[in-house]
Chains A and B, each alone.
Chain A
Amino acid sequence: MRVWMVVRAAIELGVAGMIAAAPARVADVTPGSAEPAVSGAPARLVLFEDFTRPT
């Protein structure tokens, strides 16, 4: 029983090792996508000022 548990642990460790070795998926890239390169980047707050003479 003890021997089988050790063997099984070794097998599972091997499987876990294979999973860990798999490259991480970074992103889905669609050629020609109109999405901005950096999503969530802060936008410019545009300040428009008008100089007038109040009547």
Chain B
Amino acid sequence: MVDQLAVEYADQPVLFLENDVDRPLGRRLDRWWAGYGSSGSVYLPLSMASSGHVVSNGSVAFHSVYARLVDGELVRPPEGEVDAYSRRVGNAVRVYVRVVNGTGVALSAAANAATVHALVWEDKQVGVTGRMIRAAPFATIDAVVAPVGSYAVTLETAALAGVDWDKLHAVALVDYRPAGATGPFDMLQAGLAPASDLSATPASLAVKLHLGSPEERVGTVALRGPYVLSWTASTDALWLAVTPGTGAVPADATVRVVRDRLPTGVQLGHITFTATSADGLSFTRTVDVTVELTGPASRFRRRGAVRRTPLP
């Protein structure tokens, strides 16, 4: 049934995953029980969405019940952001996670059991479905993250054996207990964790500037990647500048021209962004910048009119 639902929801932001109930990983089964709300006998399968915000157990009308759980979650807006990247390190998976608190309350392990999880799953028929979770490392949020504040953590699995590495994927999520120390958990947001990379967008910038105009700004380059990256910008043209010139990812770098060093005509320069991390990540991305410096700006020029001095 879960495989069938995965096909039916393929064009929607829904991820269906399977856990082995006899070998619970991380803190996922805890979330089901917290959502169920009491102890006692329950029947397989146990199912939940959004870390136990809604749960089901036993033999139910699977398709309609599960679809209703999913549909109910789809219409809820996220209460945060999750930006995640993954990487194979030996036989383990390392996941870099940065979350932004979109709730109206501070998140912390002490106040509301706030936790960041990574689920590493294999797209392979291992159990009942073709999407079995292989590892679920987690970390409680050991700080107080105010609303709109961010928190970053690196999670890593134990060494994984007997897996097809080409079929492994990772997703990160953050959850908490809205009622405080007890009660069901709720997931703020989840985010797929693609292979670690640095993106610098757009890949090229082009602008036309006029002599006499004070305009210096060419555009902004968005740098995105694992939060552990530190970057530096360098240029190959004296007329080209980037501010700031260094920083942490994510960042938005402003590209400017140095007016008194900018020759007239069309100029092509390049910005090289180099980003590295203490644990060995290293990326280089280049952005092409084309600037054309033309005659004085004129809002009044008409055919046949002659003007010798630019108007203010």
**Pair B20/A50 contact, Cβ less than 8 Å:** no
Q: Known interface pairs A45-B192, A48-B49, A50-B129. Does A9 touch B74 (Cβ–Cβ under 8 Å)?
A: no
A5 to B306, CA, bound (A): 9
Set of chain B residues within 8 Å of A26, measured between Cβ atoms = none
Stretch at the interface among B40-48, B212-220, B229-237, B252-260: B40-48
In the complex, what's the smallest C-beta–C-beta distance from B160 to chain A, in angstroms? 17
Residue of A nearest to B187 (CB): A47
Majority-rule SS of A interface residues? mixed
Choose one: B32, B73, B81; the contact of A42 (CB below 8 Å).
B81
**Pair A44/B76 contact, Cβ less than 8 Å:** yes
Number of interface residues of A (CB under 8 A): 20
In the complex, what's the smallest C-beta–C-beta distance from A46 to chain B, in angstroms? 4
Q: Known interface pairs A12-B300, A44-B74, A49-B47. Does A54 touch B126 (Cβ–Cβ under 8 Å)?
A: yes
Set of chain A residues within 8 Å of B126, measured between Cβ atoms = 54
Majority-rule SS of B interface residues? mixed
Choose one: B49, B81, B127, B305; the contact of A54 (CB below 8 Å).
B127
- CB of B13 within 8 A of chain A? yes
- CB of B200 within 8 A of chain A? no
Q: Tell me the chain A residues, 4-51 only, with Cβ under 8 Å from chain B.
A: 5, 8-9, 12, 16, 41-51
**Pair B44/A51 contact, Cβ less than 8 Å:** yes
A51 to B58, CA, bound (A): 11
- CB of B307 within 8 A of chain A? yes
A-B contact count (CB 8 A): 118
Q: Known interface pairs A51-B45, A53-B21. Does A46 touch B14 (Cβ–Cβ under 8 Å)?
A: yes
Choose one: B18, B32, B49; the contact of A47 (CB below 8 Å).
B49
In the complex, what's the smallest C-beta–C-beta distance from A14 to chain B, in angstroms? 12
Residue of A nearest to B49 (CB): A48
**Given A50-B17, A52-B18, list of 19 further CB < 8 A pairs?**
A8-B300, A12-B299, A12-B300, A44-B13, A44-B78, A44-B189, A45-B14, A45-B192, A46-B73, A47-B119, A47-B187, A48-B14, A49-B32, A50-B16, A51-B18, A51-B28, A51-B46, A52-B45, A53-B20
Interface residues of B (CB under 8 A from A): 2, 5, 12-22, 24, 28-29, 32, 44-51, 66, 69-70, 73-74, 76-78, 81-82, 119, 126-129, 133, 171, 173, 187, 189-192, 299-300, 305, 307, 311
**What would be 5 A-B contacts, judged by CB atoms less than 8 Å apart?**
A5-B305, A47-B50, A50-B47, A51-B20, A52-B127
